[in-house]
Homo-oligomer: A and B are copies of this chain.
Amino acid sequence: MTELVAKKLNLEHEMVLCSSTGIIGRQLPMEKIEAGVAAIELSKDKGNAFAEAIMTTDTHPKRIALEFQIEGRTVRLGGVTKGAGMIYPNMATMLSYLTTDAAITHEWMKTEVKAAVDDSFNMISVDGDMSTNDTCILFANGLAGNTSIDAGHPEAEIFRQALRYVTQYLAREMARDGEGATKLMIVHVNGARDKADAVKAARAITLSPLWQCALAGGDPNWGRISAALGASGCALDQARYDISIGDVQVMKHGLAAQYDQEAARQAMAGNEVTVTIDLHLGEDKATAWGCDLTHGYIDENTLYTR
């Protein structure tokens, strides 16, 4: 497949990368692919068409583009991605493509993309099912004409922040558009002993089917958050941790807090629900994104290969 594309576009073979999604174990329909590759036309204004072309069970395209200044020059960073099931990236059927015209050293780019992916795509879950072919690729062609960015570049932080913004935006939108999802779940864990614990705790909440069902029903059943937190294996002091849903603190010092039931229901009513956990054990924190579990997920996945 890469050979066909390289030949069509007069590129070096190594310049073409291949991504895949679909039913595992089925041979790809090479006839269709050959015809498709033969019909490729490069175009400056077809980014949106690409974002739509890669959709599978996604309900809408996910894309973003930023412009910012480095060395007084306008630099662009764009990204498109697709979800929407078998999503529990540890780098999954998540395919994500980033492009920039910034000049960046290869070494610094590898470091920064890995770090940005860890805090974005690797922090989302739709169903806890890790895919066989998660992909995130950043293409940088250097056309902005800046001095190549590395760790020592005085404006490296600007690119880093842009990369973080783009990857976290795309990750969040992927979680929001999970198969059958009606609500985005945002989980902040603060005060963790270390970063690994913060990640473990935050992801565990997004992974709980029981809490995902409660979310679907708008039911502030925080015991399920607490149970998932305990089962996560993160360091936990039973007498210290706090849990809030939106602005409503439902657990204080590891026990049921006094709170207004109606306010808690209101905090669950919108299409974005935030859970904030403070472990009060250290300074580390993490944010994970997930979604609710609905009939829609099941309907999309019971007869997939038929």
Contacts and interface: CB of A to CB of B under 8 A. Distances in A.
Q: How many copies does the complex hold?
A: 2
Interface in A111-131: 127-131
Given A129-B228, A214-B304, A231-B130, A221 B298 contact: no
Given A130-B227, A303-B219, A86 B210 contact: yes
A17 interface: no
Interface stretch (A62-70, A97-105, A190-198, A289-297): A289-297
Interface in A189-226: 207-210, 213-214, 216-217, 219-224, 226
* Residue among A25, A86, A207, A228 facing the most chain B CB atoms (10 A cut-off): A25
A216 B302 contact: yes
A85 interface: yes
Contacts of A251: 25
A301 B127 contact: no
A252 to B, nearest CB: 11
A142 interface: no
Taking chain A's interface residues, is the majority helix, strand, or loop, or is none over half, making it mixed? loop
A249 interface: no
A202 B79 CA distance: 38
Interface residues of A, number: 46
A219 B304 contact: yes
Nearest to A304: B221
A230 interface: yes
Contact of A306 (B24, B219, B231): B219
A129 B224 contact: yes
Given A23-B221, A209-B209, A305-B221, A298 B231 contact: no
A298 B305 contact: no
Given A130-B227, A132-B227, A301 B25 contact: no
Interface string A226-240: 111011000000000
A227 B24 contact: yes
A160 to B, nearest CB: 30
Q: Which 7 A-B pairs have the closest CB atoms?
A: A24-B223, A217-B302, A213-B301, A130-B231, A217-B303, A25-B256, A127-B209
